[in-house]
Amino acid sequence: MSEPGQPPILLWFRSDLRLADNPALTAAAMSGRPVIPVFIHDDPSNLGGASRWWLHQSLVALSRDIGALGAPLVVRRGDAPTVLAALGKETGADTLHFNRVPRPREARQEELIAGLLGSRGIAVHGHDAALLFEPRTVRTQAGGNFKVFTAFWKTCMAMPEPPRPLPAPKTLSVWPHSLPSLGLDQLGLLPTGVDWADGLRAVWTPGERGAQGRLTDFLEDGVIESYDSDRDRPDREGTSRLAPHLAFGEISVRAVWHAVRTMSAPGNGVTRFLTELGWREFCHDLLLHHPDMAERPLRPEFETFPWRSDPAAFRAWCKGRTGYPIVDAGMRQLWQTGWMHNRVRMITASFLVKHLLCPWQDGERWFRDTLVDADVANNAAGWQWVAGCGADAAPFFRIFNPVLQGERFDPDGAYVKRYVPELADLPPQWIHKPWTAPPSALAAARLQVGADYPLPIVDHARARALALSAFKAISRK
């Protein structure tokens, strides 16, 4: 219980919409003083449509969970430093706790807040909870940042193990006064007009409980044991699907790390999954050192790459109408569910930048708008990796053949048939190249290529030659 007359503490929720392993919440709760939980809708233009839908659902869950401790979530809109200063004046709060967000914009914002609130007598405490290893602590022997993942992760593995996750507080001292707060519907996060979120609702359960349930399923259903072999198979449930929960901080990466380490038998699946968490660390480290990573290539020679402007081809790619089934299945899965299998993300991205020669930035923006896990660090680094212009990237001349990729990773066509139902009756030998199917097979499948399903919008061999020619042009420079 707090003593009467004690000034309250402001607890600022950001990309950490959870109670467990939330160092800012734990510190506020342990003080024994009244706590005012706050969420500020700041810079809404930075969120895509799918992320906005997810954020609404996640805030509903957070409001319920923190409310169960007796502390209503105060929701405001506006510039975070200004809003927090105003709340300090309204409530007489003399302390702010928050968890740092390892992104350049948010880091600058944290500096502004420390200066502004500090000048008003409010103590500002930032905590680290977003990554396994504290930002900017993983360094080369020369003191610089890493450009190659293998060396980065080897250095991480030589460091002390990440801290164990903190339990959620069971009690919270409550400020006995009410504060004006926006209703979540007033934030305007949900679709207006046409409700395109049915597919998202059918697949996802945003919020801390949904995140913990997803982790439990991943560990207890045996998925992780075969993760190393199945993670590239979009026709199987071989991945964790924890990415959106991590992006919104509904579960901490430390909690995931330790759950995997302690609940799973050592094996290739466990090792590979932990390495994928390492890629997440690497992407955030890159973003901290390259704030414009979503707009500019890390390899400067790609600044002059001869990208094409082809709005019609880009629209066909977005809609899943390229004529290449594995590409179209991925793009339709993305639109329907807000998520795409990782292997197919690489295939669809390669198709956009190397078959269509469209700028990778256009694809990055489309994914950012349609992915529920649209984390800017992972998204930008992934696109630069595929385009060959990022750190430790695949070479540009590695051009995926979408037919061979489909035949290798979706051999029976189950994934394609799920999201491109017009091809559902084609035999497996034609499912990834329907334009080559004999008339008898097309007739049996009641399919007319060019009408029911489009012909390929580009020829693979010709597109590959053009892409290599474009790459040679910048190589000569």
Query: Residue ranges of the alpha helices (H) in 355-397?
Result: 360-370, 376-387
Options 145, 196, 225, 279, the catalytic residue = 279
Residue 394 in tokens: 């695949």
Residue 91 in tokens: 């409530």
- Containing domain of residue 335, as a range? 300-476
CATH code, domain with 304: 1.10.579.10
372 belongs to a structural domain: yes
Active site residue 366: no
Active site residue 145: no
pLDDT score recorded for residue 4: 57
Query: Residue ranges of the alpha helices (H) in 198-249?
Result: 198-203, 208-220, 227-230, 243-247
pLDDT score recorded for residue 2: 47
**Rounded distance, CA 234 to CA 390, Å?**
25
Domain end among 101, 130, 159: 130
291 belongs to a structural domain: no
281 belongs to a structural domain: no
31 belongs to a structural domain: yes
Number of domains in the chain: 2
Active site residue 360: yes
pLDDT score recorded for residue 193: 79
Options 153, 175, 317, 383, the catalytic residue = 383
Active site residue 153: no
Record the pTM: 0.95
197 belongs to a structural domain: no
Active site residue 379: no
Question: In the chain, which residues have pLDDT < 50?
Answer: 1-2
Domain end among 107, 130, 153: 130
**Rounded distance, CA 363 to CA 386, Å?**
11
User: For the chain, how many residues are written?
Assistant: 477
pLDDT score recorded for residue 393: 79
Options 106, 196, 225, 307, the catalytic residue = 307
166 belongs to a structural domain: no
Domain end among 73, 97, 130: 130
pLDDT score recorded for residue 40: 98
420 belongs to a structural domain: yes
**Rounded distance, CA 26 to CA 164, Å?**
14
pLDDT score recorded for residue 339: 98
CATH code, domain with 97: 3.40.50.620
415 belongs to a structural domain: yes
Active site residue 204: no
Options 196, 342, 401, 435, the catalytic residue = 342
Residue 277 in tokens: 């968490």
pLDDT score recorded for residue 104: 93
Query: Residue ranges of the alpha helices (H) in 290-401?
Result: 311-319, 325-337, 342-350, 360-370, 376-387
Q: Which residue in 455, 437, 464, 459 sits closest to 325, CA to CA? A: 455
